Structure 1
Amino acid sequence: MSDVTTDEFAPRPKLLTPAMLQALCRRSTSQGALRALAHYGAIIVVGTLIGLIVSADGVAWALPLVLVQGVLVAFLFMAVHETAHKTAFDGRTLNVVVGTISGFLIGLPYEYYCLFHWEHHRHTQDPERDPELIVGPKPRSETQLAIAYSGLVQVAGRLRLLLKHAVTGEVTVPWVPAGRRATIVREARCYVAGYTVLLLGLLVLHSALLLWVWVLPLLLGQFVLRPYLYAEHVGCDHTKSAFHNTRTTFTTRVVHWLAWNMPYHVEHHAYPAVPFHALPKLHEIVDGEIKHRGQGYVAVTRQTRAWFRQQWEGTKADL
């Protein structure tokens, strides 16, 4: 995805010259390393504290930290996303290594996600071709909507697909070309082997440490990650323009840090080769072109929930 610098259907802000875009697209290993080390460092610190508290039989006291750890671990999705674009670091190797490790920790095979996400960028908001719309749950009731916002359906779905690829050796999804299917199968088998080794190790050691610092936090973190991800496109236009089919959400510095600046999502979709650290500068230039502008994730979540309700109510009316 690194060779795609613009959205061919997006209007071109007059202030953004080719020279400026070239400068914005400059990658920085130091910026990527700083963000990745900070993110992983926070996970290690919080995980260590959880381990110490749990080992001292203070499970109840550990629960608030488990929630914090959940957000940190779940948002490793953003590291997978940035490295999938090969823009986190100036060089392919670091992007692949960090992306693969992060993908393993959240149960999302890296090479598979690269292909999935490239198709998403090519066909954003196209109901028949955008894989996010094809595989995502389509809630038809309040209960289904609540389950969708938990993110657990998505996690279960990608783990089920991972096992299918590993066990059957078959890859049938349309966004994986025939020439890459063997790679996806091999990757799935490596992931499953890694999870199996960890599980056996825990059984041999009679330890629940990874349950407290990784598995449970990952599941709990989906309750925050999924509403965040829905804010990116839900309720936006079904058009080919990134300035109309995507939403930028204005939020706090903490969220920008956690999400690797992806709240600037219109900017990212319009110019996907611009690294995360340059998105604030890009936003200053293209701000006037953005149609969907969220004022915080609480407000946007209300909007996306209302949009989902309108969809199923409209379906009932058609029947």
Structure 2
Amino acid sequence: MDHKAFIATLPPDTLAALNRKSDAAGLWHLAGHGALILGLALWIGLGLPLWQLALLAQGIALCFLFTLEHEATHKTPFARESVNEWVGRICGVLIFLPFEWFRYFHLAHHRHTNIPGKDPELTAGAKPESIRAYILHVTGLPYWYANLKQIFCNASGRDPGAYVPNRTHHRVRTEARWMLLIYAGVIASLFVTPFLFWVWLLPCLLGQPFLRLYLLAEHGRCAFVADMLENTRTTYTNRIVRYLAWNMPYHVEHHTLPQVPFHRLPALHDHMRGRHKVTSDGYVAFTRDYISRIDAP
């Protein structure tokens, strides 16, 4: 059975229930994630005991806004489209990932998941196959370089990528220019106070490796085929990780039915029990297995 055959087994009323969005569920989850970020920022800003450890926690909380921005490209975290759009844009600014551009990059990824030459995620270095490439990838440095380069590219009006429709080029360009303006203001603020450096910029650098390790598990070492049950991995993990990642460890479920909002993925997971072809018992187990099969050079 492939993912399409599985979808065909779902009764229409079950599918309708799974697809139902909710502002309340999304806003409640966002309030919790946002409160964590603001609380850690206060901890760091006031220099409370162990504030240095809070830098790492803050970085992880900030970087995992990627999973929310990712969901917003599908317009699923919230029932109201305007909320999805603005939350996605704000997350994009915070993690240096332009939302308008990423929407089309990510939709191309869903359309051609793990298909070489078509899936934009399968670019050089995206799935490292040597120890050297793996270490570089996990540092997050290629992420920062690629994203900053993309923002400048978009702002200059150059081609943002074949997967971005011509009709959206103006929006992509305008967004990138606003982002650069915001970042210029941030840099200027650092000459007055280092506050944003300590509660935002430095934590993002520290937290990015954890996001890189997390994202590798989604499709790393999966088959280059069109079946979502084979080209995507669901990772069994604890509630804290599921919460920070907006339930995206249920990744086979998400790719099978991307219109299902994050808060209904556990229910979809229950419907899929016994049909998963690629899973992992936690991110430590996945990482250990990935490294054990990597090329030495």
Shorter chain as normaliser: what TM range? over 0.9
Matches of 1:87 and 1:287 in 2, distance apart?
23
TM-score relative to the length of structure 1: 0.88
Taking a change above 3 Å as real, the CA distance of residues 290 and 165 of structure 1, as seen in their structure-2 partners, is: same
**In the TM superposition, what is the alpha-carbon distance from 1:135 to its structure 2 partner?**
5.5
Q: Is the 8 A contact 1:136 1:154 kept in 2?
A: no
Q: Is the 8 A contact 2:125 2:133 kept in 1?
A: no
SS of the residue 1:289 aligns to: coil
> Aligned residue for 2:252?
266
Whether 1:47 and 2:31 are equivalent positions in the alignment is: no
1:146 corresponds to which letter in structure 2?
I
Whether 1:303 and 2:297 are equivalent positions in the alignment is: no
Q: Aligned-pair RMSD on alpha carbons?
A: 1.8
Matches of 1:138 and 1:285 in 2, distance apart?
30
2:157 corresponds to which letter in structure 1?
G
Select the residue among 267, 279, 283 that pairs with 2:265: 279
Q: Return 5+ residue gaps in structure 2 as ranges.
A: none
1:233 corresponds to which letter in structure 2?
H
> Aligned residue for 2:144?
155
Select the residue among 173, 182, 191 that pairs with 2:179: 191
> Aligned residue for 1:237?
223
Taking a change above 3 Å as real, the CA distance of residues 265 and 102 of structure 1, as seen in their structure-2 partners, is: same
> Aligned residue for 2:169?
181
Whether 1:62 and 2:51 are equivalent positions in the alignment is: yes
TM-score relative to the length of structure 2: 0.95
Q: Can you list the C-alpha shifts for 1:50-97, whole angstroms capped at 9, x where unaligned?
A: 00008xxx7xx4210000001000001011011111001101100001
Q: Is the 8 A contact 1:9 1:240 kept in 2?
A: no
> Aligned residue for 2:27?
33
Matches of 1:18 and 1:118 in 2, distance apart?
25
Q: Can you list the C-alpha shifts for 1:201-230, whole angstroms capped at 9, x where unaligned?
A: 222x2x111111000111111111101000
Matches of 1:107 and 1:161 in 2, distance apart?
10
SS of the residue 1:37 aligns to: helix
> Aligned residue for 1:19?
13
Q: Can you list the C-alpha shifts for 1:21-67, whole angstroms capped at 9, x where unaligned?
A: 1111000000000111110110000101100008xxx7xx4210000
Whether 1:74 and 2:63 are equivalent positions in the alignment is: yes
SS of the residue 2:190 aligns to: helix
SS of the residue 1:132 aligns to: coil
Whether 1:202 and 2:190 are equivalent positions in the alignment is: yes
Q: Is the 8 A contact 1:251 1:263 kept in 2?
A: yes
Identity %: 40
SS of the residue 2:6 aligns to: coil
Whether 1:108 and 2:97 are equivalent positions in the alignment is: yes
SS of the residue 1:90 aligns to: coil
1:165 corresponds to which letter in structure 2?
N
The number of residue pairs the alignment matches comes to 296
Taking a change above 3 Å as real, the CA distance of residues 135 and 80 of structure 1, as seen in their structure-2 partners, is: farther
> Aligned residue for 1:4?
none
Taking a change above 3 Å as real, the CA distance of residues 213 and 140 of structure 1, as seen in their structure-2 partners, is: same
Q: Is the 8 A contact 1:11 1:241 kept in 2?
A: no
Q: Is the 8 A contact 1:268 1:279 kept in 2?
A: yes
Which stretch of structure 1 is more off in the superposition, 194-203 or 79-88?
A: 194-203
